[in-house]
A and B are shown apart, each in its own frame.
Chain A
Amino acid sequence: MVCAVVSASISPNFMERIHSVRLIPRETRTIDINVILDFLNESCMCLPGTIVAESGDLYNMEIWRVKSILGRDFKYPETIAERMAVETAHHISIAGRRLIVGDKSMHGKTGAMNKNEPG
């Protein structure tokens, strides 16, 4: 899986400035809320400000629980700009995942072709 983090300054209805973008891949055997929160915490490390994430991504967990687990300020998107920022991160993560998975499948295909090559 891939986690995309967009660090931005926002006004209520516009993203004013994007400061940085992070794209972090990770492989896990299972996926649950603890894995996701760990991954989220690690991805947002050293970035100041409030973390905003889609409620569905965190199993609709209450904000106070997420805040206490992460140990920092957190909220679900409320304003247009926050939704825009989350959407931007989604686009980046999907593009990144396609890039990674696409590369792997290409290697896999090459491998398969090599195997099938007549000796």
Chain B
Amino acid sequence: MNRDKKEKTAVLLMRESPTKPLDSSRMRELRGLAEAAGYQVLAEVSQRRGRDSRYQIGRGKIEEARSHNPEKLIFYNALSPNQVFNITSEFSARVLDRFNLILEIFSTRASTREAKLQVELARLSYDAPQVKSALALKKRGEQPGFRGAGAYEQSMYHDIRGRMAKIRSELAYVENMGEDRRQRRREQGFDLAAIAGYTNAGKSTLLNALTGSKVEAKDQPFTTLSPTTRAREVLGRRVLFTDTVGFIDDLPHFLIKAFRSTLSEISEADLVLLVADASDPLELLRRKLAASHKALWDCEVRAPIVTVLNKADRLEEGRAEKIVELIRDLAPCPVLASAFSGQGLGVLEECISMRLQPLQEYSIRLPYTAQGLSELSRLYETAELLSVSYEEELVIRLRAKKETIARASLSGARRM
């Protein structure tokens, strides 16, 4: 029991650039991540200086961190293989950087096969260049025997690349399945809305508040890894809301690439609800919104965006309007809401229905065949029928999505 407790202690270290202003929110975020991974934080050590090529941070600061006798040293800044080697060998300390800490959280929370594959791909994408560089370092010294490093070590890099290719092909299959699922849902007359935003902004709570579901929602980063979809009718439109994995600042590009099949739920959506924590200090809120915009840009989102300024119930009177004004350049179509108290959800629904692409009006003809009549029955479910007249053929005037009409044409429907 004591041993377990000891294994989960850590000291947080952060090097801040002297040219940039002090930002204590980054250390707070690192603490939140460490606690989400189950670490007990013993101390926080930070230093303003240029990058130390040997240890990333000053030697004295590492000694100060070691004096707390933690199991691990967690760095905010990314560590190179050389820096990891130097700190591990000279201070006999186990080290983690922020990226590895996030991967550790992901790997403990990944429950579906897709999520596990994505985490493994991200881990291998990170490891591949590190293994390459470690092999290069190893080859520099004196090598025993002919040609040095040995076949097993040489093949490790190629094994990693092979495994990455295999995972990518499996994930491509999952992605295609997701694309087919979305197409089917559109044919059934659903609009797809993705709930995206910075981690711990309250996306799962908003999904629960909007749809009345009971998805796991906690006050900690990365509670959700795999997308969860729930249906809800919003002012006459049938909408599928999908809760997605949260964004975080300064993430390497390959992590976003690894999670592409999950993030495609955002990029292929008809509407994106960008959730932000309105109770954050203004500077932090702006930084998180900018990070979310960057992630949405990387996901190639072209859909309209509605910004949900969540946790508005925590704001003081009069401050809410001021915040909306100050972040207007970063927040498209801002709506103040609280998923916890239900405040502003009515306004949000109105905003969602306004930003969704309006249904187009069509007139179609259907034959009096079994297939045609079953299609009519299906259209009653999936579209808004304006009139049905029984003439030589069935003449139907309706409002629907173009995918629904395309599906009807397979059953012999002809547009007029």
Contact = CB atoms under 8 A, between A and B. Distances in A.
A79 B304 contact: no
A5 B179 CA distance: 38
A62 B19 contact: yes
Contacts of B290: 78-79
B305 interface: yes
A80 B19 contact: no
B340 interface: no
Given A13-B304, A13-B305, A80 B331 contact: no
Nearest to A83: B297
A110 interface: no
Interface of B is mostly: loop
A79 B19 contact: no
28 contacts: A11-B332, A12-B305, A12-B307, A12-B328, A12-B329, A12-B330, A12-B331, A12-B332, A13-B293, A13-B304, A13-B305, A13-B332, A62-B19, A62-B20, A78-B290, A78-B293, A78-B294, A78-B330, A79-B290, A79-B293, A79-B330, A80-B293, A80-B296, A80-B297, A80-B305, A83-B293, A83-B294, A83-B297
A80 B301 contact: yes
A13 B305 CA distance: 7
Contacts of B293: 12-13, 78-80, 83
Interface of A is mostly: loop
Interface string A60-100: 00100000000000000011100100000000000000000
B77 to A, nearest CB: 16
A13 B330 CA distance: 8
A12 B19 CA distance: 28
Contacts of A83: 293-294, 297
Interface in A1-58: 11-13
B305 A79 contact: no
Contacts of B331: 12
A78 B332 CA distance: 13
A78 B294 CA distance: 7
Nearest to A82: B293
Interface in B209-253: none
Given A80-B293, A83-B293, A83-B297, 12 more contacts: A12-B307, A12-B328, A12-B329, A12-B330, A13-B293, A13-B332, A62-B20, A78-B294, A79-B293, A79-B329, A79-B330, A80-B301
